[in-house]
Amino acid sequence: MPRTIYFDYNATTPLDPGVREAMLPFLEEIWGNPSSVHHVGRKARALLDDARDRAAKFLGAKPSEIIFTCGGTEANNLAIFGTARRLKAKGKHLITSTVEHHAVLHCFDYLEKNEGFSVTRLPVDAEGRVSVDQLKRALRPDTVLVSIMAANNEIGTLQPVSELGAACHERGIIFHTDAVQWFGKEPFENIGQFNAGLVSVCAHKFHGPKGAGLLYIKSPFQPDPIFFGGGHENERRAGTENLPAIIGLVESLEKFVKNPVFMGAKLKPLSDKLVWEIERIEGCEIVSPRLNSLTNTVSFIVRGSDGISLMAGLDMEGICASSGSACSAGSLEPSHVIVALGRKNAANSLVRFSLGRDSSPVEVDFVCSVLPEVIRRAQRHQKPANGL
């Protein structure tokens, strides 16, 4: 079995040992239901309230503006479905972009198909970026929600979210940003920097536990709930709170976001080396932007190959990479992000390397040494278009 080189940090990160230690008491002695009235439940409730206070203080928000969720997907779903349904009497026009995560895109698809909403999907430029001017032109009197991600998970593009949010604010329109890939990678001062009324966060992208996230909701707005069954989270999200995971989320925020765990000074030389070597390989083309992009992300397309063959070849060398969103693992569908860039013919040949805190120059050197042969094997494996 070859050694493992993990270059898929945008998909998930390993749980930090310190975060795990902070969670352990809540998996052992503090096990009560925070909604129970007896002393075991009250102890859990007090610590849940403390976690919410800590999260709010860290984000620069009010405790009442924090809803704990089971992750980024639920946070996005709550933001989009909850806002659209709450404001449908005011208008039924929604705006998103063509490069969003499927946890956003599929929500808009559903609302358009099943609930009578009209959706504008903004195009992007050759680097995957949304134009502020195009957004302004797309806004209508009946627009009630705009959702644009902060950082793209597949190619790393940073969106001008502050400017996009300001354009929405000027018109009194709710702006949501999926900031799942931002936290722990890009500078963070406070939640106000996004100019967003709704912000999605996910713990396992910055060395917290899976199954934990939050949605920031700027008061006084409250979206309609999408879960029903109890008065949890101040009647905004039914379901017994996952206290160990929530503690892990808050601990990860405090440890790894203001001082980003994905250190640009360390990762940029590694990413630059990968880019330089990949550009020397015939048939390869970098699609990650050179500027205004996640430092840890290097994505490229390979002419005459496909993602499945490339992933299999890398895995045989012990290299963990991705051919798109982790939530599409095993899918044969081409990358919708590459399609949005106008590269439909190459959309099934995307490779994403996403580095992290444990990535090393030795690992990058090894990847660079085997990558040309991995690509040549994948290209030979690819059948001609006519199947002959």
Q: Which residues are catalytic?
A: 327
10 Å CB burial of residue 380 (0-12, 13-18, 19+) is exposed
Q: Are strands 143-147 and 174-178 parallel, antiparallel or unpaired?
A: parallel
Q: Give the phi and the psi of residue 222 in degrees, each rounded to 5.
A: -135, 115
- E strand or H helix at 67: strand 66-69
Q: Are strands 93-97 and 143-147 parallel, antiparallel or unpaired?
A: parallel
d(CA 6, CA 193): 31
CA of residue 185 relative to chain centroid, distance: 11
Beta bridge partner(s), residue 183: none
Per-position b or e across 194-213, b if 16+ CB within 10 A of its CB: bbbbbbbbbbbbbbbbbbbb
Q: What does the DSSP assignment read for 306-369?
A: -HHHHHHHHHHTTEE-BSS-GGGTT--SPPHHHHHTT-GGGTT-EEEEE--TT--HHHHHHHHH
d(CA 263, CA 186): 9
Q: Are strands 198-202 and 143-147 parallel, antiparallel or unpaired?
A: unpaired
Beta bridge partner(s), residue 199: 177, 216
CA neighbor of 15 nearest in space, from 235, 247, 199: 247
- Tell me the two tokens of residue 184: 């722990």
CA neighbor of 43 nearest in space, from 54, 28, 33: 33
